[in-house]
Every structure is written in structure tokens, then in C-alpha cells.
Amino acid sequence: MSVNKVILVGRLGRDPETRYTGAGQAVANFSLATDESYKDRNGERQKRTEWHKIVLWGKQAEIAQQYLKKGSLIFVEGRIQTREWQDKEGQKRTSFEIVANNFRMLGGRAEGAIGATAGASASGGGTDFESPAGSGGGGEESIGAGGGGSPSPEISDEDIPF
């Protein structure tokens, strides 16, 4: 048995960039920064930032393009995928990316997240977007009810992007 699962919480380093395959399927790419704080040998607090390449497919890619922006705080669930390619000099290169099958916008509306389910009031809850496992993206989204926080305006069916 083997497991390839990644869970990250971080901020977008750039706006999502969306392209379309020849078959018309959307694919979005963006970078995600995660931070780690630790004390060095001298007891000084240090901070290390890791950058991750994130790939979203299908409807998720379109939603990310519409709602995510540089600095947005998100939760990402997916798998690590290795990609091999040749650079301009013909050298073989390897890069690692996270192919997301689920993401959740965290934080309030000011950070780019939309509200919760239609008719519910939430400001800091976030929204889930999930693909069925093994589908490669493009599945139905499930919207999770948001957490507490101050009330926001009611959301009508016209406000929901799908």
C-alpha cells in the first residue's frame, strides 16, 4: 500500500494563471508559500518559506481564476506529481508540483473568499471546492458552511458562481 497525499495552508505568491487544453479543459497554475518558524542554535527565531507549485483542473481552475488572488490564504489538498522536462539548453530538469483535488478559501471577504452556502451568513468561513478522487479535476463542488464571525449580507442564488 502507498499514499501520496499533501495538505498545505498558505498564501498565493501570484494570481492564478489559467490556460485551456486542446479539449477545452481549464488548468490553473499558481505558487503557494508556506512558512515555518524555528529557533536556531543561538536561540534566535528564524523563519523559512517554502514555495509550492499548485495545479488545478476543470471547474476548480475556473473558480480559482475568478476568486483567488496574490496573498489569498487557502487550504489545499492533493498529491505530489513529478514532472520531467528539458530546458532551453537541452538539460533534463525535474520539478515537483501539487495537483490539487480540493481547496478551501480561508479568511474573510477582504482576503478574496466568498461567503458560505446560499442564505447562510458567514464572513470568515471559506468555501470548499473538491473533485472526485481520481477524476483529474472538473467534478462538482461542495460548499461547506462557514464558521462564525460577523454577519455578512445574505447571498442569493445569483451570487453563487456555479
* CATH code, 130: 2.40.50.140
pLDDT tens digits, 36-68 = 999 999 999 999 999 999 999 999 999 999 999
Residue 25 within a domain = yes
Does 162 reside within a domain? Answer: no
User: Cα–Cα distance between 130 and 101 in angstroms, integer?
Assistant: 6
**Residue 160 resides in a domain:** no
Is 123 inside any structural domain? yes
Predicted pLDDT at 137: 41
- Is residue 161 one of the residues assigned to a domain? no
Q: Measuring CA to CA, how many Å separate 144 from each of 5, 17, 18, 129?
A: 21, 25, 25, 9
- pLDDT score recorded for residue 94: 93
Separation between Cα atoms, residue 38 and residue 88, nearest integer Å: 38
List the grid coordinates of 71: 496573498
Q: Is residue 145 part of a domain?
A: yes
When mean pLDDT is compared across 25-29, 59-63, 122-126, 137-141, the lowest value belongs to 137-141
Report the predicted TM-score, pTM, of the whole model to 2 decimal places: 0.66
**Residue 138 maps to a domain:** yes
Q: Which residue has the higher pLDDT, 145 or 159?
A: 159
Domain that holds residue 14: 6-38+46-153
Tell me how many domains the chain contains: 1
Q: What is the mean pLDDT of the chain?
A: 77
Q: Is residue 1 part of a domain?
A: no
Q: What percent of the chain has pLDDT over 90?
A: 65
* Predicted confidence (pLDDT) at residue 3 exceeds the cutoff of 50: yes
